[in-house]
Amino acid sequence: MGNADKGLVKYQGKPLIQHVIETIEPQVQNIVVNCNRNETEYENLSYPIAKDLSGEYRGPLEGILSCKHLIKSDYIFVAPCDMPHLPANIVSILSKNLDEAELCVAHDGIRMQPLVFVARAQLIESIDEYLNKGGRSVSNWIRSKDHEVVDFSRQQTAFWNINEESQLSN
């Protein structure tokens, strides 16, 4: 996408982030958006905005950590802005195993989708320590936690993310 802000890129007539919001909104109590540019456009979505705390780009985990002060529930659901076809029941499916694990992450049958997970909100605290020790990989952070991998192999296309302009016409 070059230098475009993927969340605001139009797909099927609306910004990518709007597709994700419309899917998850009926499934969650609150939505918090992490962004580091184009704040005005994201504020127009009428959800709380969190900017990365450190001021240096430390990846998606920094974004999740930056949302900590706006989380008002015991659990969090994380999704990227570039997956417009997430299942309408993604949160409930992932949440089913939270009694046995701290975090439940989606697997599309080919690979783990590290930015699609439900976790106990208290886990966010561990991100700060992980980042301060030089960790950046969401997958490795997840593997360091008591986690369950949830099979979505029958819904592989739900985890299709848009990374190139050519995908916008599909």
**pLDDT confidence of residue 119:** 97
Q: Give the largest Cα separation in the chain, rounded.
A: 42
**pLDDT confidence of residue 54:** 78
The residue segments making up the domain with residue 134 are 6-162
In whole numbers, what is the pLDDT of the chain averaged over residues? 91
Tens digits of per-residue pLDDT, 12-30? 999 999 999 999 999 999 9
Residue 169 belongs to some domain of the structure? no
**pLDDT confidence of residue 165:** 62
Q: Return the HEC string of 136-161.
A: CCHHHHHHCCCEEEEECHHHHHHHCC
CA 125, distance to chain mean position in Å, is 17
Residue 110 belongs to some domain of the structure? yes
**pLDDT confidence of residue 47:** 95
Residue 168 belongs to some domain of the structure? no
Residues 127 and 52: beta-carbon distance below 8 Å: no
Tens digits of per-residue pLDDT, 123-164? 999 999 999 999 999 999 999 999 999 999 999 989 998 665
Q: Is it the case that residue 11 has pLDDT exceeding 90?
A: no
Tokens standing for residue 33: 């958006």
Query: Number of folded domains in the chain?
Result: 1
Give percent of the chain with pLDDT exceeding 90: 79
Residue 1 belongs to some domain of the structure? no
Tokens standing for residue 107: 């697997």
**Mean pLDDT across the stretch 31-37?**
93
Domain of 43, CATH number, reads 3.90.550.10
Tokens standing for residue 109: 């049958």
CA 165, distance to chain mean position in Å, is 21
Residue 48 belongs to some domain of the structure? yes
**pLDDT confidence of residue 167:** 53
